[in-house]
Chains A and B, each alone.
Chain A
Amino acid sequence: MKTAIIGMGRMGRLRKECLKKQYFLELTAICDINSQHNHGGELNFYTDWRELMDTEQPEAVFVCTYNSAIPDIVCLALERGCHVFSEKPPGRNTVDAHRMADAAAAAPNCVLKFGFNHRLHNSVLEARALLDSGQFGKVVCARGVYGKAGAMDFDKQWRSDLEQAGGGILLDQGIHMLDLLLYFMGDLTLVKSIVANYVWQIPMEDNALALLQNVEGYPAMFHSSATQWRHIFRLELLCEEGYIHLEGLNTTTRSYGEETVRVGYKDLGQTTGKLGMPGEQVYYFDADNSWYLEVDEFVKAIRDGNPILHGTADDAVRLMRLIEEIYAK
């Protein structure tokens, strides 16, 4: 299937690598506003995405651009009958998300998937399976922290341009943690939030904190930070029968620490002989297959008619609505 990638920054290059590992989608063209991003030079290259769409007429498109460009590309591609895989976030606000969801509804033969790869990290797959097995009962409380070290040029990056990005650390990175909280706890409503800029000289937040509640009243605490001064990913799920702690993420630089799931069952009888120190199982993972699994899900949805389970248009709208609520309060 004739396929194009629009946006050849880090994510575009990563998707190009993913596409090499399957045979269904044939990458024929790439696009980037920066002509120096014509990596390899073996594909048809465009600097104008509309020209690519007109000339190449791809059947599938990967949208890996700045946030502000995403909705126009997604909507036009769907309108032309293309299957679309778009990186997160699904636009800059709920208007963008609704617009893309409407375009998808008007193109029922097209697949639209947003890239929320964290759901397919090994630790998250394990945690989901643990919960689904029923051994732990319900999640009664969740605590999620996702933070960045920042960088010398952090305030100069496109992510720090409000017009292009649409939001700060919450929309850029925190969105993944919020997606996971929704994934593990179901629909969440906002109780209280603090969105603030404490350190960075940028026109958007460098910290976002929120207290949320699911439909059964169980709470989730959320903190997304660009002033963590180190990379951190930590999600604690406290359940009726035990706990599941996810920590670290396998990334190319391993800067978020080793990806682990620490599992413990409540041990009121102190079978280990030590109160507060239950026997634990720690799973650690030596690979990140999430990017490939995402593309695999996209391919199977197109080829086999499988439903999209992660990153649907509904997921996108639900998530952007919650983010907008957090910003509003």
Chain B
Amino acid sequence: MFGYETRDGLAMEETFHGRSSYFQQQISLAKDFVLKSEKPTGAPVNCPVCASLLSESLFEKWGLCYFLCEECWTTFAPVVAQEVKDFEKNSLLTELRRSEEYQQSSTQTRHSSWISLLKWVEHRLFRYSLRKGDWRVLIRGLRYEGLLKLIRKNPLISLTDIKGSIVAPDCYSENGYDAIFYLDTLQRRAHPLSYLQQANVFLNPGGFLFLTTRIGTGFDLLTLKGSSENIFPYEHIFLPSVKSLSLLLGKAGFKVLEASTPGMFDMAHIYKQRDALEAGNLFARFLTTEYNERMFSDFQKFLQKHGLSSTVKIVAKKL
């Protein structure tokens, strides 16, 4: 079963209306950090999902090389793990994201999408557990106070614990959770398999993992590659395909119940960055030249429906 979300007639100019005014500032801070950070050298490049050595260099960004696994279509960037930890916990970017102004701005721009996300979680939890509430939930790595408040206010969730967040101190047990949320955190993991295996440990038998993350097989990334301003280190260092992510979840002891790619902005990103398209990419260039709102909206729906958009939502069950 797959699913997708649509917003009919989405105009390009509307698409970025909701984007945080902090976006360019974040890019700039991330770039400063990554340029100064230590990069791995010389080691053979194994795919973190299938361990294949058959990877091609896809692009380089801020001195960091991204590879595409020819076996399972995972895009990944080998990193020095400590650098990623520092980036997450101690960088100027993290300070910015912790600031009250940033949090307020995020709440303003993202509130409706959080409501929609929580409705989805509620519905899927009920669909698969047939339990109407009293759910014990652990959240990993959340970045938004506003979303945390919404989750904690949800009457169906009786316990909300948190681990590894920049906006709240750790508060969790070693196990006993009905559901665990990995919301846009897998994409910045140097060791994605062990990160998913940890989720398995925290969950009760039959518990559910709700996972959202960027994927490397999204139309915008495959089209724009390193020119995409939305993909940057160390925010995005692991970008699996839907299939490779399912494979990884299987290795971590999960069964994927559903996977959908409801991303809404591939076409908008390509249109916005049309000047960065490679000269040889005639299709994308022609597409942006022939831009009309209806055609782009339909194209985006096609991407959503067929697993070709750049974000994935997964519900998986602990085996």
Residues on the B chain within 8 Å of A287, using CB: 1
Measured between C-beta atoms, what is the minimum distance from A80 to chain B in Å?
A: 36
Q: Which residue in B2, B3, B112, B120 is a CB contact (below 8 Å) of A271?
A: B112
Chain B residue nearest in CB terms to A283 = B3
Q: How long is the Cα–Cα vector from A218 to B119 in the complex, in angstroms?
A: 26
Q: Is the CB–CB distance between B119 and A135 below 8 Å?
A: yes
Q: Is the CB–CB distance between B123 and A282 below 8 Å?
A: no
Q: Which residue in A133, A273, A274, A280 is a CB contact (below 8 Å) of B132?
A: A133
Q: Is the CB–CB distance between A284 and B123 below 8 Å?
A: no
Q: Is the CB–CB distance between B116 and A283 below 8 Å?
A: no
Q: Is the CB–CB distance between B5 and A277 below 8 Å?
A: no
In the complex, A166 has a CB within 8 A of chain B: no
Residues on the A chain within 8 Å of B2, using CB: 283-286
In the complex, B291 has a CB within 8 A of chain A: no
In the complex, A109 has a CB within 8 A of chain B: no
Q: Is the CB–CB distance between A281 and B305 below 8 Å?
A: no
B-to-A contact residues, CB < 8 Å: 1-9, 14, 112, 116, 119-120, 122-123, 126-127, 132, 262, 305
Count contacts on A: residues with CB < 8 A to the other chain.
23
A281 touching B1 in the complex, CB below 8 Å, given contacts A129-B123, A271-B112? no
Q: Is the CB–CB distance between A274 and B122 below 8 Å?
A: no
Q: Which 6 A-B pairs have the closest CB atoms?
A: A283-B3, A129-B127, A133-B126, A271-B112, A281-B5, A277-B8
Q: List 25 A-B contacts (CB under 8 A).
A: A129-B123, A130-B123, A130-B127, A132-B132, A133-B132, A134-B132, A135-B122, A135-B123, A271-B112, A273-B14, A277-B9, A279-B6, A279-B116, A280-B5, A280-B7, A281-B5, A281-B6, A282-B3, A282-B5, A283-B2, A284-B1, A284-B3, A284-B4, A285-B1, A286-B2
Residues on the B chain within 8 Å of A279, using CB: 5-7, 116
In the complex, A327 has a CB within 8 A of chain B: no
Q: Is the CB–CB distance between B122 and A282 below 8 Å?
A: no
Q: Is the CB–CB distance between B120 and A281 below 8 Å?
A: yes
Q: How long is the Cα–Cα vector from A280 to B123 in the complex, in angstroms?
A: 14
Q: Which residue in A126, A130, A132, A280 is a CB contact (below 8 Å) of B6?
A: A280
